[in-house]
Protein backbone atom coordinates (compact mmCIF):
# COMPACT_ATOMS: atom_id res chain seq x y z
CA UNK A 1 0.00 0.00 0.00
CA UNK A 2 1.29 3.49 -0.86
CA UNK A 3 2.11 5.59 2.18
CA UNK A 4 0.20 8.84 1.88
CA UNK A 5 -0.71 9.85 5.42
CA UNK A 6 1.60 11.69 7.77
CA UNK A 7 2.17 12.93 11.27
CA UNK A 8 1.70 16.65 10.81
CA UNK A 9 2.75 17.57 14.34
CA UNK A 10 3.76 15.81 17.54
CA UNK A 11 2.49 17.73 20.56
CA UNK A 12 2.90 17.48 24.32
CA UNK A 13 -0.52 18.67 25.52
CA UNK A 14 -0.79 18.66 29.34
CA UNK A 15 -4.25 18.17 30.78
CA UNK A 16 -4.68 19.69 34.26
CA UNK A 17 -8.46 20.22 34.47
CA UNK A 18 -7.63 23.58 36.04
CA UNK A 19 -6.88 24.90 32.55
CA UNK A 20 -10.41 24.08 31.39
CA UNK A 21 -11.88 25.61 34.53
CA UNK A 22 -9.92 28.83 33.96
CA UNK A 23 -11.00 29.04 30.31
CA UNK A 24 -14.73 28.90 31.16
CA UNK A 25 -15.93 27.00 28.08
CA UNK A 26 -19.73 26.55 27.95
CA UNK A 27 -19.34 22.76 28.34
CA UNK A 28 -17.84 23.08 31.85
CA UNK A 29 -20.23 23.76 34.71
CA UNK A 30 -17.93 25.36 37.34
CA UNK A 31 -17.09 29.04 36.72
CA UNK A 32 -13.59 30.38 37.17
CA UNK A 33 -12.66 33.17 39.57
CA UNK A 34 -10.47 34.70 36.86
CA UNK A 35 -7.58 35.16 39.29
CA UNK A 36 -5.13 33.97 36.63
CA UNK A 37 -2.80 31.44 38.28
CA UNK A 38 -2.31 29.42 35.10
CA UNK A 39 -1.91 32.27 32.58
CA UNK A 40 1.53 31.03 31.35
CA UNK A 41 0.02 27.72 30.26
CA UNK A 42 -2.96 29.39 28.62
CA UNK A 43 -0.56 31.62 26.70
CA UNK A 44 1.44 28.52 25.71
CA UNK A 45 -1.67 26.81 24.36
CA UNK A 46 -2.61 30.00 22.52
CA UNK A 47 0.79 30.03 20.81
CA UNK A 48 0.38 26.36 19.91
CA UNK A 49 -3.08 26.95 18.40
CA UNK A 50 -1.71 29.85 16.35
CA UNK A 51 1.16 27.68 15.18
CA UNK A 52 -1.12 24.88 13.95
CA UNK A 53 -3.88 27.16 12.60
CA UNK A 54 -2.77 26.72 8.99
CA UNK A 55 -1.92 23.01 9.33
CA UNK A 56 -3.91 20.55 7.25
CA UNK A 57 -5.00 17.66 9.47
CA UNK A 58 -7.86 15.18 9.68
CA UNK A 59 -7.62 13.65 13.13
CA UNK A 60 -6.21 13.99 16.66
CA UNK A 61 -4.50 10.86 17.98
CA UNK A 62 -4.18 11.13 21.76
CA UNK A 63 -2.44 8.97 24.36
CA UNK A 64 -3.92 9.56 27.81
CA UNK A 65 -2.70 8.59 31.30
CA UNK A 66 -6.18 8.80 32.84
CA UNK A 67 -7.67 5.82 31.06
CA UNK A 68 -5.70 3.12 32.82
CA UNK A 69 -5.97 -0.40 31.41
CA UNK A 70 -4.45 -3.34 33.23
CA UNK A 71 -4.27 -5.79 30.36
CA UNK A 72 -2.73 -4.13 27.33
CA UNK A 73 -3.23 -1.01 25.23
CA UNK A 74 -6.87 -0.16 24.51
CA UNK A 75 -8.44 2.03 21.81
CA UNK A 76 -11.84 3.73 21.70
CA UNK A 77 -13.80 1.78 19.12
CA UNK A 78 -17.27 3.37 18.89
CA UNK A 79 -17.95 6.21 16.40
CA UNK A 80 -19.44 8.65 18.92
CA UNK A 81 -19.27 9.21 22.67
CA UNK A 82 -21.24 11.73 24.72
CA UNK A 83 -21.60 12.28 28.43
CA UNK A 84 -20.49 14.25 31.46
CA UNK A 85 -16.91 13.84 32.61
CA UNK A 86 -16.19 14.66 36.26
CA UNK A 87 -12.62 14.79 37.52
CA UNK A 88 -12.51 12.44 40.52
CA UNK A 89 -9.90 14.57 42.34
CA UNK A 90 -11.08 18.03 41.27
CA UNK A 91 -14.88 17.77 40.87
CA UNK A 92 -14.99 21.41 41.99
CA UNK A 93 -13.19 22.41 38.78
CA UNK A 94 -14.20 19.95 36.07
CA UNK A 95 -17.73 18.80 35.24
CA UNK A 96 -17.63 18.82 31.46
CA UNK A 97 -20.32 17.81 28.95
CA UNK A 98 -18.54 16.25 26.01
CA UNK A 99 -19.41 14.89 22.60
CA UNK A 100 -16.66 13.41 20.51
CA UNK A 101 -16.33 11.56 17.25
CA UNK A 102 -13.88 8.69 16.89
CA UNK A 103 -11.98 7.72 13.76
CA UNK A 104 -12.66 4.03 14.34
CA UNK A 105 -11.00 2.95 11.11
CA UNK A 106 -7.71 4.57 12.10
CA UNK A 107 -8.04 3.33 15.69
CA UNK A 108 -8.39 -0.22 14.39
CA UNK A 109 -5.43 0.28 12.07
CA UNK A 110 -3.23 1.42 15.00
CA UNK A 111 -4.48 -1.52 17.05
CA UNK A 112 -3.65 -3.93 14.21
CA UNK A 113 -0.15 -2.52 13.77
CA UNK A 114 0.44 -2.61 17.54
CA UNK A 115 -0.74 -6.23 17.73
CA UNK A 116 1.51 -7.09 14.77
CA UNK A 117 4.35 -5.52 16.76
CA UNK A 118 3.69 -7.97 19.60
CA UNK A 119 1.67 -5.77 21.97
CA UNK A 120 -1.42 -6.90 23.86
CA UNK A 121 -4.35 -4.78 22.59
CA UNK A 122 -8.13 -4.39 22.79
CA UNK A 123 -10.87 -2.21 21.31
CA UNK A 124 -13.32 -0.47 23.69
CA UNK A 125 -16.75 -1.17 22.18
CA UNK A 126 -18.98 -0.03 25.06
CA UNK A 127 -21.00 2.98 23.79
CA UNK A 128 -21.65 4.09 27.39
CA UNK A 129 -17.96 4.21 28.29
CA UNK A 130 -17.04 7.49 30.01
CA UNK A 131 -14.14 9.17 28.22
CA UNK A 132 -11.42 10.27 30.65
CA UNK A 133 -10.65 13.87 31.51
CA UNK A 134 -7.09 13.69 30.14
CA UNK A 135 -8.36 13.07 26.62
CA UNK A 136 -11.07 15.70 26.89
CA UNK A 137 -8.86 18.38 28.37
CA UNK A 138 -5.97 17.98 25.92
CA UNK A 139 -8.28 17.78 22.88
CA UNK A 140 -10.21 20.84 24.02
CA UNK A 141 -7.13 22.96 24.64
CA UNK A 142 -5.58 22.03 21.28
CA UNK A 143 -8.80 22.16 19.26
CA UNK A 144 -11.69 23.82 21.16
CA UNK A 145 -13.87 23.64 18.05
CA UNK A 146 -14.29 19.85 18.50
CA UNK A 147 -14.55 19.55 14.69
CA UNK A 148 -12.03 16.72 14.20
CA UNK A 149 -12.39 13.05 15.11
CA UNK A 150 -10.03 11.50 17.63
CA UNK A 151 -8.20 8.25 18.15
CA UNK A 152 -7.79 7.63 21.86
CA UNK A 153 -5.20 5.24 23.33
CA UNK A 154 -5.21 4.08 26.95
CA UNK A 155 -2.30 3.84 29.35
CA UNK A 156 -1.23 0.21 29.85
CA UNK A 157 0.38 -0.56 33.19
CA UNK A 158 3.66 -2.15 32.10
CA UNK A 159 5.85 0.53 33.71
CA UNK A 160 3.91 0.23 36.97
CA UNK A 161 3.72 -3.55 37.02
CA UNK A 162 7.27 -4.23 35.83
CA UNK A 163 9.74 -1.37 35.20
CA UNK A 164 10.10 2.03 33.53
CA UNK A 165 12.43 0.45 30.98
CA UNK A 166 9.91 -2.24 30.05
CA UNK A 167 7.13 0.35 29.86
CA UNK A 168 9.15 2.57 27.53
CA UNK A 169 10.11 -0.36 25.30
CA UNK A 170 6.38 -0.99 24.74
CA UNK A 171 5.63 2.68 24.17
CA UNK A 172 8.27 2.89 21.45
CA UNK A 173 6.69 -0.10 19.70
CA UNK A 174 3.28 1.56 20.07
CA UNK A 175 4.66 4.82 18.66
CA UNK A 176 6.13 3.08 15.63
CA UNK A 177 2.84 1.22 15.13
CA UNK A 178 0.93 4.51 15.30
CA UNK A 179 3.18 6.05 12.66
CA UNK A 180 2.78 3.07 10.31
CA UNK A 181 -1.00 3.09 10.71
CA UNK A 182 -1.25 6.85 10.10
CA UNK A 183 0.88 6.55 6.96
CA UNK A 184 -1.10 3.59 5.64
CA UNK A 185 -4.44 5.25 6.42
CA UNK A 186 -3.77 8.31 4.28
CA UNK A 187 -4.73 10.54 7.24
CA UNK A 188 -2.88 13.64 8.29
CA UNK A 189 -2.69 13.45 12.07
CA UNK A 190 -1.83 15.57 15.06
CA UNK A 191 -0.41 13.33 17.78
CA UNK A 192 -1.06 14.47 21.36
CA UNK A 193 0.85 13.13 24.34
CA UNK A 194 -1.52 14.15 27.12
CA UNK A 195 0.91 14.43 30.02
CA UNK A 196 2.43 16.61 32.70
CA UNK A 197 6.21 16.50 33.23
CA UNK A 198 7.09 16.48 36.96
CA UNK A 199 4.05 15.38 38.87
CA UNK A 200 4.31 15.63 42.67
CA UNK A 201 1.49 17.97 43.68
CA UNK A 202 0.14 19.68 46.73
CA UNK A 203 -2.66 17.88 48.51
CA UNK A 204 -4.52 20.96 49.71
CA UNK A 205 -6.06 23.78 47.69
CA UNK A 206 -6.32 27.42 48.73
CA UNK A 207 -9.83 28.83 49.14
CA UNK A 208 -9.59 30.07 45.55
CA UNK A 209 -7.74 27.32 43.62
CA UNK A 210 -6.84 29.94 40.99
CA UNK A 211 -5.14 32.32 43.44
CA UNK A 212 -1.70 32.90 41.88
CA UNK A 213 -0.08 33.56 45.27
CA UNK A 214 -0.24 29.82 46.01
CA UNK A 215 0.88 28.43 42.67
CA UNK A 216 4.48 27.26 42.38
CA UNK A 217 6.48 24.11 41.68
CA UNK A 218 6.35 21.49 44.46
CA UNK A 219 10.13 21.34 44.87
CA UNK A 220 13.36 22.47 43.23
CA UNK A 221 14.29 18.95 42.21
CA UNK A 222 11.23 18.87 39.97
CA UNK A 223 11.97 22.28 38.47
CA UNK A 224 15.53 21.23 37.64
CA UNK A 225 14.40 17.98 36.00
CA UNK A 226 11.74 19.79 33.95
CA UNK A 227 14.27 22.37 32.75
CA UNK A 228 16.74 19.60 31.88
CA UNK A 229 14.11 17.84 29.79
CA UNK A 230 13.07 21.05 28.01
CA UNK A 231 16.74 21.78 27.25
CA UNK A 232 16.99 18.38 25.55
CA UNK A 233 13.82 19.12 23.56
CA UNK A 234 15.26 22.43 22.36
CA UNK A 235 18.57 20.73 21.50
CA UNK A 236 16.87 18.10 19.34
CA UNK A 237 18.16 15.34 21.62
CA UNK A 238 15.28 12.84 21.42
CA UNK A 239 17.54 9.84 22.01
CA UNK A 240 18.99 11.43 25.14
CA UNK A 241 15.48 12.11 26.47
CA UNK A 242 14.66 8.43 26.10
CA UNK A 243 17.95 7.43 27.73
CA UNK A 244 17.18 9.62 30.74
CA UNK A 245 13.45 8.86 30.86
CA UNK A 246 13.58 6.12 33.55
CA UNK A 247 15.48 8.45 35.93
CA UNK A 248 13.32 11.44 35.03
CA UNK A 249 10.21 9.41 35.82
CA UNK A 250 11.55 8.13 39.13
CA UNK A 251 13.15 11.31 40.43
CA UNK A 252 10.42 13.78 39.48
CA UNK A 253 7.46 11.38 39.90
CA UNK A 254 6.75 12.18 36.28
CA UNK A 255 3.43 11.44 34.65
CA UNK A 256 5.56 10.36 31.67
CA UNK A 257 5.58 7.01 33.48
CA UNK A 258 2.24 6.46 31.77
CA UNK A 259 4.17 6.50 28.51
CA UNK A 260 2.77 9.40 26.47
CA UNK A 261 6.04 11.18 25.78
CA UNK A 262 7.93 7.98 24.91
CA UNK A 263 5.08 6.99 22.57
CA UNK A 264 5.26 10.38 20.88
CA UNK A 265 9.03 10.25 20.47
CA UNK A 266 8.74 6.76 19.00
CA UNK A 267 6.04 7.88 16.54
CA UNK A 268 8.23 10.80 15.45
CA UNK A 269 11.15 8.45 14.78
CA UNK A 270 13.02 9.80 17.86
CA UNK A 271 13.54 13.39 16.69
CA UNK A 272 17.06 14.74 16.28
CA UNK A 273 15.63 18.17 15.48
CA UNK A 274 14.39 20.72 18.03
CA UNK A 275 10.88 20.88 19.38
CA UNK A 276 9.29 24.25 20.08
CA UNK A 277 8.54 24.81 23.77
CA UNK A 278 5.51 27.12 23.65
CA UNK A 279 5.56 27.59 27.40
CA UNK A 280 5.93 26.05 30.83
CA UNK A 281 3.87 26.45 33.98
CA UNK A 282 2.90 24.81 37.22
CA UNK A 283 -0.53 23.57 38.24
CA UNK A 284 -1.02 22.73 41.93
CA UNK A 285 2.77 22.16 42.02
CA UNK A 286 3.14 19.92 38.94
CA UNK A 287 5.34 20.91 35.97
CA UNK A 288 3.68 21.24 32.57
CA UNK A 289 4.97 22.24 29.14
CA UNK A 290 3.25 22.71 25.78
CA UNK A 291 5.68 21.38 23.15
CA UNK A 292 5.42 21.02 19.36
CA UNK A 293 7.54 19.02 16.93
CA UNK A 294 6.99 19.78 13.24
CA UNK A 295 8.52 16.94 11.18
CA UNK A 296 7.97 18.54 7.76
CA UNK A 297 9.52 21.87 8.80
CA UNK A 298 12.51 19.92 10.15
CA UNK A 299 12.81 17.98 6.88
CA UNK A 300 12.60 21.19 4.84
CA UNK A 301 15.35 22.66 7.01
CA UNK A 302 17.53 19.64 6.27
CA UNK A 303 16.92 17.58 9.44
CA UNK A 304 15.63 14.03 9.60
CA UNK A 305 11.85 13.48 9.84
O1 LIG B 1 -4.16 15.12 35.89
C2 LIG B 1 -3.71 16.09 36.43
C3 LIG B 1 -2.36 16.46 36.19
N4 LIG B 1 -1.71 15.74 35.44
C5 LIG B 1 -1.71 17.57 36.77
C6 LIG B 1 -2.16 18.48 37.66
C7 LIG B 1 -3.38 18.57 38.25
C8 LIG B 1 -4.42 17.76 38.04
O9 LIG B 1 -4.56 16.74 37.22
FE1 LIG C 1 -2.81 13.87 34.87
> Does residue 18 contact residue 38 with C-beta atoms inside 8 Å?
yes
- Cα–ligand 2 centroid distance for 199 (angstroms): 8
Answer whether 0.95 is exceeded by the pTM. yes
Average pLDDT over residues 82-96: 96
- Position 107 in a domain: yes
pLDDT band at 303; cut points 50, 70, 90: low
Ligand in closest contact with the CA of 288: 1
Number of folded domains in the chain? 1
The number of the ligand 1 atom at minimal distance from the alpha carbon of 14 is 4
- Position 35 in a domain: yes
294 lines ligand 1 (CB under 6 A): no
Q: Which domain holds residue 248?
A: 6-297
pLDDT beyond 50 at 249: yes
196 lines ligand 1 (CB under 6 A): yes
- Position 305 in a domain: no
The number of the ligand 1 atom at minimal distance from the alpha carbon of 90 is 8
- Position 186 in a domain: yes
Pick from 130, 123, 124: nearest CA to 100: 130
Coil/strand/helix, residue 86: strand
282 lines ligand 1 (CB under 6 A): no
287 lines ligand 1 (CB under 6 A): no
Probe target for ligand 1 pocket from 13, 17, 252, 261, with the most ligand atoms within 8 Å of CB: 17
285 lines ligand 1 (CB under 6 A): no
**Residue-wise DSSP of 168-211:** HHHHHHHHHHHHHHHHHHT-EEEEEE---SS----S---SSTT-
Helix H or strand E encompassing 116? helix 104-116
- At 1 the pLDDT is 43
- Position 150 in a domain: yes
- Position 136 in a domain: yes
16 lines ligand 1 (CB under 6 A): yes
pLDDT band at 46; cut points 50, 70, 90: very high
215 lines ligand 1 (CB under 6 A): no
> Does residue 197 contact residue 229 with C-beta atoms inside 8 Å?
yes
- Position 214 in a domain: yes
Q: What is the per-residue pLDDT across 151-167, written as a single tens digit (0 to 9) for each?
A: 999 999 999 999 999 99
For the chain, first and last CA: distance in Å?
20
Supply the CATH number for residue 63's domain: 3.40.830.10
- Position 133 in a domain: yes
Percent of the chain scored above 90 by pLDDT? Answer: 96
283 lines ligand 1 (CB under 6 A): yes
Amino acid sequence: MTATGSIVRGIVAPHPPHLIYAANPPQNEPRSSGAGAWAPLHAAYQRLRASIAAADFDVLVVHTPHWKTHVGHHFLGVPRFAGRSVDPIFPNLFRFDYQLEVDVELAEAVRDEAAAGGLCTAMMRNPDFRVDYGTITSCHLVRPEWDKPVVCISSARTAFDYSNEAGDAEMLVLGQATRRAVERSGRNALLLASTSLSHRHFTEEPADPEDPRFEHIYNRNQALWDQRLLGLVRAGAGRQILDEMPDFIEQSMSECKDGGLSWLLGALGVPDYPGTVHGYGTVIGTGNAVIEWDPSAAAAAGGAA
